[in-house]
């Protein structure tokens, strides 16, 4: 079953000079898939993610998440849809600094007034998967970047979202933390069957996914599937980026 269906989507930014950032994008992501979006700077990756994450409405075409068209919802319904069906992980973690790690992770459930015992059960589950039980009482300034991103992932998955969206989630991490965080995304994808759509510039990071979709100048360019050989997959990502003029990091 397709969790995400984007059909002939366009996005034009209206200004003194209109700018057509996305043209005729069609993309389908199946339940349990882990997909990366790649493309050169300015190709429209964040615009695409913003349209899917209901931050910014497309100017044409349709988006369905779990068969629901979010832009057809009323404001309150849309807020509930976002809270319940979507999870977000950002490059700069977006943790609330006045709260502890535990309070940050529980935030989406607290906003939805979920019962205390359910909250504690879910907290135990995600913190075990992500290996952060020992951080729960810490404040955000007492943890490292890699740990902060794990906390952000825990917060993004604690309500078991239909679709997890990540925008450059490893952009602020050192090499060791990049690997750890990507292994955790893989665990979340496989163990919780979470569908993930991630924007990244990094071929190594994208090689953890099952499929990479490339966009260029706001249009679909190509897509590659992992298959059984991650080294070959990495190489085909690098080859596509070379044609596109993107940035690649060494495979380690
Ligand atoms: N609010 C906006 N108003 C007008 N133009 C915009 C706006 N946001 C983005 N753009 C333009 O749309 C195009 C796509 O931008 P977008 O941020 O989606 O690219 P990107 O692929 O995510 O780039 P990067 O990799 O550098 O983050 C760019 O040319 C950008 O200048």
- Nearest atom (ligand 1) to Cα of 39: 21
In the chain, the domains with their CATH numbers are: 35-43+74-244 (3.40.50.300)
Question: Which residues on adjacent β-strands are paired with residue 11?
Answer: 22
Rounded Cα gap, residues 177 and 162, in angstroms: 26
| Model pTM score | 0.93
* Residue nearest atom 30 of ligand 1, based on CA coordinates: 42
Among 251, 228, 229, 225, smallest CA distance to 238 is for 251
CA of 217 to the centre of ligand 1 (A): 10
Given the CA of residue 44, which atom of ligand 1 is nearest to it? 18
Q: Atom 5, ligand 1: which residue's CA is nearest?
A: 13
Residue identifier of the C-alpha nearest atom 9 of ligand 1: 47
pLDDT for the residue numbered 120: 97
For ligand 1, atom 29, name the residue with the nearest CA. Answer: 42
| Residue 72, pLDDT score | 94
| CA 208 / ligand 1 centre spacing (Å) | 25
CA distance 21 to 92: 24
**Ligand 1 atom nearest to CA at 48:** 18
As a whole number of Å, the end-to-end CA separation of the chain is 34
Q: Cβ distance 220 to 25 under 8 Å?
A: yes
Rg for the chain, CA atoms, rounded: 18
pLDDT of residue 176: 87
Tell me if residue 4 falls in helix, strand or coil.
Answer: strand
**Count, residues in the chain:** 252
| Residue 245 confidence (pLDDT) | 76
* Buried residues in 208-233 as b, exposed as e (16+ CB within 10 A): bbbbbbbbbebebbbbbebeeeeeeb
- Measuring from atom 16 of ligand 1, which residue has the nearest CA? 44
Atom of ligand 1 nearest to the CA of 49: 18
The closest of 185, 243, 186, 194 to 214, measured between CA atoms, is: 243
Q: How far is the CA of 139 from the centre of ligand 1 (A)?
A: 34
Which residue, by CA, sits nearest to atom 1 of ligand 1? 13
pLDDT at 251: 46
Q: How many C-beta atoms lie closer than 10 Å to residue 99's C-beta?
A: 14
- The best mutation among 12, 19, 215 to test binding of ligand 1, ranked by most ligand atoms within 8 Å of the C-beta, falls on 19
For every residue of 135-175, DSSP letters joined together read GTTSBGGGS-HHHHHHHHHHHHHTT--SEEEEESTTTT--H
User: Atom 8, ligand 1: which residue's CA is nearest?
Assistant: 47
- Residue nearest to ligand 1 atom 3, measured at CA: 13
35 bridge partner residues = 197, 211
Which residues in the chain land under pLDDT 50?
A: 246, 248, 250-252
Ligand 1: residues within 6 Å at CB? 13, 15, 19, 21, 39, 41-47
Beta strand 211-216 with 19-30 is unpaired
Edge-to-edge strand ranges of the sheet holding 195-199: 86-90, 163-167, 195-199, 34-38, 211-216, 219-225
């Amino acid at each position: 079953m397709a969790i995400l269906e984007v059909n002939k989507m366009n996005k034009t930014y209206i200004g003194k000079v209109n700018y057509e950032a996305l043209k005729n994008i069609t993309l389908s992501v199946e339940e349990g898939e882990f997909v990366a979006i790649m493309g050169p700077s300015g190709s429209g990756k964040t615009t695409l993610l913003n349209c899917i994450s209901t931050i910014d409405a497309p100017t044409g075409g349709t988006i369905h998440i779990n068969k629901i068209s979010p832009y057809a919802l009323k404001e309150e319904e849309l807020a509930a849809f976002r809270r319940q069906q979507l999870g977000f992980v950002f490059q700069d973690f977006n943790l609330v600094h006045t709260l502890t790690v535990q309070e940050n992770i529980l935030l989406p459930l607290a906003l939805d007034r979920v019962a205390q015992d359910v909250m504690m059960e879910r907290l135990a589950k995600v913190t075990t998967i992500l290996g952060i039980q020992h951080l729960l009482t810490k404040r955000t300034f007492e943890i490292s970047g890699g740990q902060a991103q794990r906390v952000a992932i825990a917060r993004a998955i604690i309500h078991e979202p239909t679709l997890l969206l990540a925008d450059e989630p490893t952009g602020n991490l050192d090499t060791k933390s990049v690997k750890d965080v990507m292994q955790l995304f893989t665990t979340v994808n496989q163990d919780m069957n979470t569908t993930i759509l991630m924007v990244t510039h990094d071929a190594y990071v994208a090689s953890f996914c099952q499929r990479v979709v490339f966009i260029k100048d706001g249009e679909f360019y190509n897509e590659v599937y992992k298959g059984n050989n991650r080294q070959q997959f990495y190489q085909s990502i690098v080859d596509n980026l070379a044609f596109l003029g993107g940035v690649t990091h060494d495979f380690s």
